[in-house]
Structure 1
Amino acid sequence: MTRTMSLLLLTALSVAPAQTAPLTEAQARAALDGIYKGDYRAAFVDRRPELFLRHIPDDFQSTSVEGNRFDAAALRQFFPQQFQNMVRTVEHNVTIEDVDVLADGTVSAIVTLHTLIEFRGAGGRNYLVNTIGTYRDDWQNRGGTWFEVRGDQLRNQVTTALRP
């Protein structure tokens, strides 16, 4: 009887999901800060869109300020196109405004992105695009990798000017 109980207990423990302590907001902020200042920044500075896109799962969803919705497939098509005429990233800053760890482990963050990027125009002249946007990004850690599952745009301002 003792052997049977031991086997049942061992089986139950091996089938039960692993329980891990939820992240604190400070831990979640540190994890996201590493991604925003690591892969996301490097995607723009080094013109390597794959660094950004590797954090976008197939179930990604987003809504723009105007209410337009798009998914992972649309983002994977659109995002790399901006790098074709990019000359350099002059500035790329992300400020994490707020972080909440939700009951299901999703990390929801309000972030403000400021970029100043130089592009080459069709006529050969360079121009600058200054963008300030605020987003609600929802992240999930899936198997040790952080994925942005939602990225809703809350505010967006773009100024474009010929380079002096």
Structure 2
Amino acid sequence: MQSRTPRQSAGEQGGRRPDGTDAGARFGAELASVVSGARRRAVRDGDRQIDTAHLLHSLLEYDPEARALLGEGPQLARLLGYLVQRSIGYGLRWQGTVEDSGALPHVTGVAGFSPLASAVMADACARAARRGADRAGGVDLLAALVADPRTRAVEVLGRAAVEPCAVLARAENHFEAAP
């Protein structure tokens, strides 16, 4: 019987990334929790890689600031419902497949992440750097998740009638409005 746990490369064991940077150096404590939660969801769902829907679900669970940018009421409840249903129906068609844009040859990027999830994490770090922050936070990740229309996270948002462009605008304005 095969293990459902994604294999870690030698570089990932002990909490180290294969590229020589650890998660704490690139992400704030809240995003380290988000990534850890996304990894647990991927294992529980039987997926080999963390995808953007795993990241979105974990982000909503761990970061109230990012969750608030998605709005309140029925849309948020519907979104959480879709994310919870992922392993029991909605999203089963994703099992065993890699979240990939198809635009580039298949590259795994960061071990344990789908190519798009890896690109989203890099984009979150780049967004934080552009605003002068040392580490990416939850709002940076939310903006990166909704910026690419090819992600599973955007597909889930659309099914829950949450407009990704509106979420992106709120996320980008969040930092402009902050003192």
TM-score range relative to shorter protein: 0.3 to 0.5
Q: Which structure has the highest strand share of the two? A: 1
What TM-score comes out, normalization by structure 2 length?
A: 0.31
Bigger RCO (CA 8 Å, 6+ sep) = 2
Q: TM-score under structure 1 normalisation?
A: 0.33
The structure number with the bigger radius of gyration is: 1
